[in-house]
Amino acid sequence: MLLLFAFPVYVVLQFYCVRQCENGWSAAAWLPVPALLISIGLVALSVVNFLAIPWFYIIYTTPVSIVWLLAVMLFRSLSMRREQRAYANSEEGRWQALRDAHDRT
């Protein structure tokens, strides 16, 4: 998203610097200026965004997220065990168990 705003500014500044270089400015001195201005702007925007994070939201929702993640993992584990049990009790599962036991001997 930042690039959508930064790229047009970069193009305009680069064009301006190229035009000034055609008017006698030193290219080596002025062509890095747009990149430098964009970099400073992006760093400033990053700092502002970091400070604007609602820390209380993160502090209170992180434990809830962890509990939710653990609940999902537990549910998946239980459902996987249920599927394994259902397969083991099926006809095909019993034959597979016999083949596995025979292969181990």
Backbone angles phi, psi at 63, to 5 degrees: -60, -35
Q: Are 5 and 41 in contact (CB under 8 A)?
A: no
Which residue has better confidence, 5 or 102?
Answer: 102
> 0.95 exceeded by the pTM?
no
Q: What is the pLDDT of residue 90?
A: 87
Q: Is the dihedral of CA 30, 31, 36, 38 positive or negative?
A: positive
Identify the CA nearest to 12 among candidates 40, 34, 37, 36. Answer: 34
- In this structure, the number of other CB atoms found within 10 A of the CB of residue 25 comes to 14
22-43 pLDDT, tens digit per residue, is 666 665 566 677 777 777 877 7
Q: What letter does residue 52 receive in the DSSP assignment?
A: T
